[in-house]
Amino acid sequence: MKKILFLLAFFTLSIVGFSQDVEKVKQKEIGLTYTGDSSFGMTFRIGNNKSLWRFSSVIGSSSSSKTENDSTLLDDGKYSFYGFRVGKEFRKSITKKLDLRYGLDLGFTYQYSLVDSYGDRHTTTKGNTYTPSVGVVFGFNYYIVEDIILGLEMIPTFSKRFQDNNQVSRIIGDNNEILSTSEINHKKTENDFSLSNQNITLSLVYKF
């Protein structure tokens, strides 16, 4: 893994060293992104043709599910996911239609789940997951036309995941009275480094 990052850094510095200087021109970009984990998002960038601040968000998702058996509800779940990234990228022109991109992203994602399970016990499970991250940006831009840009990025990411789960179980009597209640709280923290196809991002933006 370290060898891959070293080769990416060496290749980047080599291109930067041999590329020609280009006059700075102010510009903004707005468009859509698609990541390797099948998530769509939006991106906005502002700066100039050499460096831009970048703001990206995952289009939030919200879903629900139910499991039934002979019209009897067994479980009912609700799920949601949101995320955004803020960073800085630098560009070097390789050819008239191709740019090298490299930089850094700071990110944050939030996941929420709420599941009710029914039976001899009524169990409610709530989950919250918070994930801050740092990503190293490396990629290319291809100018389809002057103002339409197709981008490809690989973003190796270091993240720290904070999970907070709460489960409440109730034993229900024949008259729907609560006979007993138990509660379990569970917290977990994980460190992670990700370098896979899920770290690939495609973008299609309009420059203005």
Distance, C-alpha 29 to centroid of its chain:
20
What residues have CB less than 8 Å from 77, skipping those under 6 apart?
64, 65, 66, 113, 114, 115, 116
Structure confidence by residue, pLDDT tens digits, 71-82: 778 889 999 999
Domain spanning 2-207: which CATH class is it, in words?
A: mainly beta
Nearest residue to 123 (alpha-carbon basis) of 166, 168, 69? 168
Domain chopping of the chain, boundaries:
2-207
Global pTM reads 0.79
State mean pLDDT over 180-195: 95
pLDDT(85) > 90: yes
Structure confidence by residue, pLDDT tens digits, 131-158: 999 999 999 999 999 999 999 999 999 9
pLDDT tier for residue 9 given thresholds of 50, 70 and 90: low
Element spanning 9, H or E: helix 2-18
Element spanning 169, H or E: strand 157-172
- pLDDT in the model for residue 21: 53
